[in-house]
Amino acid sequence: MCTFKTSDGTNIYYKDWGTGPVVVFSHGWPLSSDAWDSQMLFLATHGYRVIAHDRRGHGRSDQTWHGNNMDQYVADLAELLDHLDVRNAVLVGHSTGGGEVARYVANQGAPRVGKAVLVSAVPPIMVKSASNPNGTPLEVFDGIRQSVLQNRSQFYLDLTLPFFGYNRPHAEVSEGIRQSFWLQGMMGSIKGQYDCVHEFSEVDYTDDLKRIQVPTLVIHGDDDQIVPIDAAGKRSVELVPNAKLKVYTGAPHGLPITREDDLNRDLLAFIRE
CATH number at residue 35: 3.40.50.1820
Kindly state the average pLDDT of the residues 172-188.
98
Identify the pLDDT of residue 63: 98
Over the stretch 73-97, which tens digit does the pLDDT of each residue have? Answer: 999 999 999 999 999 999 999 999 9
The pLDDT-based confidence of 166 (bands split at 50, 70, 90) is very high
The answer to whether 203 and 233 have CB atoms below 8 angstroms apart is no
Identify the pLDDT of residue 111: 84
The per-residue DSSP string of 8-58 comes to TS-EEEEEEE-SSSEEEEE--TT--GGGGHHHHHHHHTTT-EEEEEPPTTS
Over the stretch 124-136, which tens digit does the pLDDT of each residue have? Answer: 999 999 989 989 9
Number of domains in the chain: 1
- The identity of residue 67, as a single letter, is G
The answer to whether 253 and 223 have CB atoms below 8 angstroms apart is no
Percent of the chain with pLDDT over 70: 100
- Catalytic-residue membership of 207: no
- Catalytic-residue membership of 153: no
Q: Choose, from 95, 189, 201, 236, the residue flagged as catalytic.
A: 95
Q: Choose, from 34, 76, 208, 224, the residue flagged as catalytic.
A: 224
The pLDDT-based confidence of 109 (bands split at 50, 70, 90) is confident
The answer to whether the predicted template modeling score (pTM) of the entire model surpasses 0.75 is: yes
Burial of 173 (0-12, 13-18, 19+ CB in 10 A): middle
- Catalytic-residue membership of 95: yes
The answer to whether 29 and 70 have CB atoms below 8 angstroms apart is no
Determine the structural domain holding residue 182 and report its residue range.
Answer: 3-272
